[in-house]
Amino acid sequence: MKIAIAGGGTGGHISPAIAVAEIILEEFPGAVVDFIATPRPVDRRMYKQFESMVHTLDPPRIDRGFSDKFLFPIRATRSFFRARRLLRELDSSVLFSTGGYSSFFPVVAARSLGIPSLIHESNSIPGRANRLAASFANKILIGFESASLRFKKKPVVLTGNPVRPTLERIEKREARNQLGIPPEGTVILFLGGSQGAKAINDIALQVPEGVHCILQCGSRDIERVMLESRENNRITVYDFVDNPALLYSAADIAVARSGAMTTAELSWFRIPSIYIPYPFAADNHQKWNAASIAEKGGAIEINQDGLEPDVLWKIVIGLLENTSEMDKMKTALAEMMPVNPATVIARDILALSDEGVF
């Protein structure tokens, strides 16, 4: 059984691709997995462990409209035929797509070759590429229930968002020891997503006494953050961490952007979180992601506009002091994600591969 997984361009598309692949390779040893990625640096870094299993496709951006009206038809045609050729060479029996511009052409190519395909939409508001690809796919899987309203084609199945099984929970004291931070006391994890977020970094830099802060600040802001925090022993800074299991395991609560994979991983680790959605995300999907979790009691959502660091820190400290509320949030997160959706998705892929029909 040969499975092609198309997902690249951003960590939010690559992480679920890897999560599902790891489950397939672990639970179904006879399966062969190949990835269809982009030439972007984030793809090379995150797919590095898979090496020969990764194949590059560099299609035009379809998720931001047809910005170059003259070249788009030519590039689109080339990408379609390259995707067809690649799927034939891989002899794929099923295609799984995690969305994004790089996955649209493989889904269309799979349809033209009679190869069954599934797409997974991780955000509460589906992206343009997935909305277009849905017409060519056999089955649509979604991470948030609200996403079903944007897909006209059925069936649409709520699976949740997959988490890499290699992100294993570690005992809190051990995680802190490995990170070189105090084993006792309160630890707050600040996450700005794979690109980082200056607004979140600025809040983390004002960490008060009695609290230790772990900050994933993004590569673009690393020099400034390291300079401003160099004499502050209450903050530990990383630009980006491919396997954040230690960071999650060490944290008491998190302050983060609300990208789909960030919310999935924090939910899986049962970390009460304060989400500050990126206000310029496509279709404001990060706000909807955060709202979906906040409505179920697993998080607090705060708008970035006008947010002052001292106000955010008052909210953080107030939550830390309210242990009963923290426990309720952890319970809500456990109820939302009792099992890793990666397992459910992997089984759907293998079932569709066995059917092999449209």
- The type of residue at 93 is S
Burial of 25 (0-12, 13-18, 19+ CB in 10 A): middle
Count of domains observed in the chain = 2
Q: Which token pair is 300?
A: 């607090």
> How many CA atoms are closer than 13 Å to the CA of 147, on its beta-carbon side?
30
On whether both 344 and 240 belong to a single domain, the answer is no
Q: Rounded to an integer, what distance in angstroms lies between the CA atom of residue 247 and that of residue 271? A: 11
pLDDT of residue 355: 59
On whether both 7 and 131 belong to a single domain, the answer is yes
Instruction: Return mean pLDDT, the chain.
Output: 91
DSSP 40-63: SHHHHHHTGGGGGGEEE--PPP-T
pTM, 2 dp: 0.90
Per the CB < 8 A criterion, the answer to whether 352 and 138 are in contact is yes
pLDDT of residue 356: 47
On whether both 10 and 104 belong to a single domain, the answer is yes
Burial of 327 (0-12, 13-18, 19+ CB in 10 A): exposed
On whether both 138 and 189 belong to a single domain, the answer is no
On whether both 24 and 63 belong to a single domain, the answer is yes
On whether both 347 and 221 belong to a single domain, the answer is no
On whether both 120 and 181 belong to a single domain, the answer is no
pLDDT of residue 196: 67
Checking if the pLDDT of 357 tops 60, the result is no
Cα of 173 vs its chain's centroid, Å: 26
On whether both 156 and 238 belong to a single domain, the answer is no
**Per-residue pLDDT tens digits for 304-332:** 888 888 999 999 999 999 999 999 999 99
On whether both 232 and 265 belong to a single domain, the answer is yes
Residue 340's contacts (CB-CB under 8 Å, 6 or more residues apart) are 19, 23, 162, 163, 165, 268
- Over pLDDT 90: what percentage of the chain? 71
Outline where DSSP puts E strands in the chain: 2-6, 32-37, 54-56, 94-97, 117-121, 139-142, 156-158, 186-191, 211-216, 235-238, 253-256, 273-275, 299-301
Per the CB < 8 A criterion, the answer to whether 65 and 282 are in contact is no
3-state DSSP helix/strand/coil % of the chain, to nearest 5: 50, 15, 35
**Per-residue pLDDT tens digits for 73-111:** 788 889 999 999 999 999 999 999 998 888 999 999 999
Domain range for 15? 2-165+340-355
- The type of residue at 123 is N
Q: Read off the pLDDT of each residue in 18-32 and give the average, rounded to a whole number.
A: 92
Name the band, by pLDDT with cuts 50, 70 and 90, for residue 71. Answer: confident
Any idea what the CATH number is for the domain that residue 259 is in? 3.40.50.2000
Sign of CA dihedral 2, 124, 8, 193: negative
On whether both 224 and 251 belong to a single domain, the answer is yes
Per the CB < 8 A criterion, the answer to whether 265 and 163 are in contact is yes
On whether both 30 and 139 belong to a single domain, the answer is yes
On whether both 210 and 97 belong to a single domain, the answer is no
Q: Which of 330, 170, 340, 167 is nearest to 253 (CA)?
A: 330
Q: Rounded to an integer, what distance in angstroms lies between the CA atom of residue 349 and that of residue 337? A: 20
Q: Rounded to an integer, what distance in angstroms lies between the CA atom of residue 119 and that of residue 340? A: 18
Q: Read off the pLDDT of each residue in 262-288 and give the average, rounded to a whole number.
A: 93
Cα of 345 vs its chain's centroid, Å: 15
Q: Rounded to an integer, what distance in angstroms lies between the CA atom of residue 305 and that of residue 349? A: 41
